[in-house]
Amino acid sequence: ATVLFATSALHRLSSSQQPQSPQQLRIMADILASQEVSMDGAKRRKITSVASLPAPLCEMLRTETLHTASVDGVLLGSEGPFNHAPCSLLPYPLPATVFSHARSLSQPFSVLVDRISRDPKWLCPIVRSTVSHDPFTRRLLEIF
């Protein structure tokens, strides 16, 4: 899944600096593909200039976006070091039909989540198996 982050640094770019072509957009998204340190401890590749943006700006955008991902909890991993979820600095092209379909499902999904949260006789037994592995879920059940 692609998570979109609108960073304040992107808003500071003038329109002449923003990437225009799909290829430039893909290259810009590659800024985030490089990890600070890979799982095997190898250093990530050095970012130079992307889509005619200077390297320091690319690095600032990457750092700010990954910081936002970690602060907002957009992370992957169950133990040990967490990685940010795949994301893009710029909007990702999405067909209008897919967007409309996702949007049409948002209200029924919200209703489903609400109804599940109001049915502890059903929810607690389902979630109880995760309590031994997940302290956060355990605490939620204690509060619930």
d(CA 34, CA 115): 41
- β-pairing, 83-84 with 75-76? antiparallel
In a shared domain, residues 24 and 44: yes
pLDDT-based confidence at 44, cuts 50/70/90? low
In a shared domain, residues 131 and 74: no
In a shared domain, residues 134 and 70: no
In a shared domain, residues 84 and 106: no
The rounded mean pLDDT for the chain is 69
d(CA 77, CA 39): 12
In a shared domain, residues 69 and 134: no
In a shared domain, residues 81 and 104: no
Residue ranges making up the domain that contains 129: 96-143
Q: Between 21 and 35, whose confidence is greater?
A: 21
CA-CA distances (angstroms) from residue 102 to 97, 109, 114, 116?
9, 10, 18, 20
Confidence at residue 11, expressed as pLDDT on a 0 to 100 scale: 38
In a shared domain, residues 79 and 106: no
In a shared domain, residues 27 and 64: yes
